[in-house]
Structures are given as C-alpha cells and as structure tokens.
Amino acid sequence: MSGAREGTVTVFDDARGLGEVTATDGAVFWFHCTQIAGGTRTIAVGTRVTFDVVAGHRGRWEAATVQPVPPPPL
C-alpha cells in the first residue's frame, strides 16, 4: 500500500499535533505534525496535499511527508 497519493486534510488538532488526511479514493490516514513537510508543525483543514503511505507504529497505515499542493498558476 505504500506510495505517493493525493488527498485533503480533514482533521487537524493543533494541541495534540494529530491530523487526518482523506485520499482521493476515500481512504483515511492519520498523521503526526512531525510528518508535515517543510518544517512547519501545523496545517489547515481543507488543504489539498500529497503524501506517502507508510506502515505506522501500531500496525496501521499512516500518512508521511504530508505536503501542501501548490495552487495552479493563473
């Protein structure tokens, strides 16, 4: 199941540093704020992102290298 995907951040809790991204196919993956690319520790709900799917710490698939998709050029 590993590999690059696209989706949207559907949940992000700043206090806990935990978020959820829903892939374009409807699959849901949790992520920790340390997995947000670019050194930031926060991301807005509704942000379109690309991410990798990796085996998590508790036997679940998780999102890693969560990176906002740049807006299309005008």
Element (H, E) at 28: strand 28-32
- In a domain, residue 45? The reply is yes
- In a domain, residue 35? The reply is yes
Own/partner pairs, 17-26, CB within 8 angstroms, 24+ separation: 17/41, 19/43, 19/66, 21/49, 21/51, 21/63, 21/66
The predicted pLDDT at position 58 comes to: 82
The predicted pLDDT at position 3 comes to: 61
CATH number of the domain that 42 lies in? 2.40.50.140
Dihedral pair phi/psi, residue 33, rounded to 5° = -60, -25
- In a domain, residue 57? The reply is yes
- In a domain, residue 21? The reply is yes
- In a domain, residue 73? The reply is no
Is the confidence at residue 29, as pLDDT, over 80? yes
The predicted pLDDT at position 2 comes to: 52
Boundaries of domain holding 27: 3-68
Overall number of domains in the chain: 1
- In a domain, residue 58? The reply is yes
Using one digit for the tens of pLDDT, what is the confidence trace for 30-71?
Answer: 999 999 998 889 999 999 999 999 998 788 999 999 999 988
The predicted pLDDT at position 16 comes to: 96
- In a domain, residue 74? The reply is no
